Structure 1
Amino acid sequence: MKKTIIYTRVSTQKESQSTSLKRQKEELLSYALENELKVIKTVEEKESGFNESRPGIIEVLDLIKKRKVEILLVQDSSRLGRGNAKMAIIHQVEKMGAEIHTLADKGAIALNDLEKMILEILSVVENYQQELRNQNISRAMKNKIAEGKFNPSDNLKNIDQGGRDRKEIPLKEIIRLRKLDLTFKDIAATLRGLGYDVSKSTVHRRYQEYQKNNEIVL
């Protein structure tokens, strides 16, 4: 059974809208039961759909980001939001690997051609911005090295465990770049730009070792 979160929304604080919230919840719970979905939480919200920073939807996105939810279940796509807010939320959910199901579509959300095109554009722009950010970080680090303000060797953490030599990579830079939300792939690319012959898997492994040694839980 896929872990599912139910999200219901009305646009005003009027007492009369409470009936709509109750109806949405009942219908969605019934749908989840019929389709063998495991509902772990129900989030109700009385907020405008044009506001993409609603506390309820942020809670939903946070659970999806933490991999605690596989399916976001709503009555119809308008419950997610209106206009740009709706598209931004759909983009975030899909980017984090979750599915959106609606009662209206009786399954996965059905997008029209325009909505699909908007999502493609958002993805392209986001990837381009990430690439620019990586290049800026790499350029800044190279400038600091050239100016003598930064020495990567000062940040090396090498543990002699026998066998073949461990690659020398700047662990502190890996940690710093992770805090900037760079992926392990992006971090590896940045380090290679600085002359380190390192793969994504090596960066990931060193970061996991760091977490274990420092008892850090993401």
Structure 2
Amino acid sequence: MKRAVIYCRVSTEKEQQQTSLQRQREELLELAKSMDYKTIAVFEDEASGYDVERDGLMDLLECLKDEKVDALFIQDETRIGRGHARIAILHLLEKTNTTLITNSDQGPFVLSDMDAMVLEILAVVEEYQRKIHNAKIKRGMKRAIEQGYRPELNLKNRGNPEGRARLTVPIEEIVSLRNKGMTFDEITTVLNGLGYEASKATIHRRYKEYEKDQA
């Protein structure tokens, strides 16, 4: 059976809004059942649709990330959010391949031409951001190798089908790459690509601490 989650939202904590919240829950549970979905969770919020920092919404997004969910049931499209928040959440639903079903439509929500265009632009931008990030890693790695850096000496679990372990970067690696004339941004990109877990700020701080110790 297909799996679904339900999200209900009202804007205030007034008594009539509480009644609306209960009505949304009951109607959506019935709609999901009528469409042969198994409801695995119900999330609720009493907050503005312009606010993305909603406890119920955050729990919902975590569920979509961690669980196998086929559809999200809501009363109408404004329940997930308004303004930019609405577009951002629609984008996240597309990324998780979650079908959005509304009670007002009695079926899958159909994007407007404008919404579809905006979401397509967002997808293209994300794809190019990913390509640029990967290109930076490759460029930094190539430069490091050309200057004598040997990454094969610093990897653990080579040949491990589950991937290499995340490592805490040693100061020796930072100093070695810095001595080859690389910037901290390039060093961060190279080491992250090798599996070391460290931000640019951390690498910069550790190098400055090293310089201080050597003084």
Answer whether TM exceeds 0.5 for this pair. yes
Q: In structure 1, what is the equivalent of residue 52 of structure 2?
A: 52
Q: In structure 2, what is the equivalent of residue 188 of structure 1?
A: none
CA shift at 1:5, angstroms?
0.4
CA shift at 1:150, angstroms?
4.9
User: Compared with structure 1, are the counterparts of its residues 57 and 146 closer, same or farther at alpha carbon in structure 2 (3 Å cutoff)?
Assistant: same
Per-residue CA deviations over 1:77-130 (Å, capped at 9, x if unaligned) read: 000100111111011111112111111111111111111111111111111111
CA shift at 1:157, angstroms?
3.4
What secondary structure sits across from 2:30 in the alignment?
Answer: helix
Q: In structure 2, what is the equivalent of residue 171 of structure 1?
A: 164
Trace 1:74-153 onto structure 2 (pairs within 5 A): 74-153=74-153
Quick check: which has more Rg, 1 or 2?
2
Of stretches 7-16 and 95-104 in structure 1, the one that deviates more from structure 2 is 7-16
Whether contact under 8 Å (1:9, 1:46) holds in the other structure is yes
CA shift at 1:24, angstroms?
0.5
CA shift at 1:171, angstroms?
3.1
Q: In structure 1, what is the equivalent of residue 69 of structure 2?
A: 69
Q: Which runs of 5+ in 2 are unaligned?
A: 168-192, 194-215
Of stretches 143-152 and 109-118 in structure 1, the one that deviates more from structure 2 is 143-152
1-side partners of 2:141 and 2:53: how far apart? Answer: 34
CA shift at 1:75, angstroms?
0.6
Per-residue CA deviations over 1:194-214 (Å, capped at 9, x if unaligned) read: 9xxxxxxxxxxxxxxxxxxxx
1-side partners of 2:150 and 2:19: how far apart? Answer: 62
Per-residue CA deviations over 1:11-38 (Å, capped at 9, x if unaligned) read: 1233331011011011111111211110
What secondary structure sits across from 2:111 in the alignment?
Answer: coil
Whether contact under 8 Å (2:6, 2:28) holds in the other structure is yes
What secondary structure sits across from 1:16 in the alignment?
Answer: helix
Code of the residue aligned with 1:38 in structure 2: it is: K
RMSD: 2.6
In the TM superposition, structure 1's runs of 4+ consecutive aligned residues that sit over 3 Å from their partners are 146-150, 156-159
Per-residue CA deviations over 1:41-74 (Å, capped at 9, x if unaligned) read: 1111011111223221121111111133211100
Whether contact under 8 Å (2:5, 2:41) holds in the other structure is yes
Whether contact under 8 Å (2:158, 2:164) holds in the other structure is no
Code of the residue aligned with 2:154 in structure 1: it is: D
User: Compared with structure 1, are the counterparts of its residues 75 and 144 closer, same or farther at alpha carbon in structure 2 (3 Å cutoff)?
Assistant: same
Per-residue CA deviations over 1:157-183 (Å, capped at 9, x if unaligned) read: 356xxxxxx99xx835xx57xxxxxxx
Whether contact under 8 Å (1:64, 1:70) holds in the other structure is no
User: Compared with structure 1, are the counterparts of its residues 33 and 145 closer, same or farther at alpha carbon in structure 2 (3 Å cutoff)?
Assistant: same
CA shift at 1:144, angstroms?
3.0
Code of the residue aligned with 2:133 in structure 1: it is: R
Q: In structure 2, what is the equivalent of residue 179 of structure 1?
A: none
What secondary structure sits across from 2:9 in the alignment?
Answer: strand
User: Compared with structure 1, are the counterparts of its residues 13 and 143 closer, same or farther at alpha carbon in structure 2 (3 Å cutoff)?
Assistant: farther
Of stretches 120-129 and 10-19 in structure 1, the one that deviates more from structure 2 is 10-19
CA shift at 1:149, angstroms?
4.8
Whether contact under 8 Å (1:7, 1:72) holds in the other structure is yes
TM-score (norm 2): 0.70
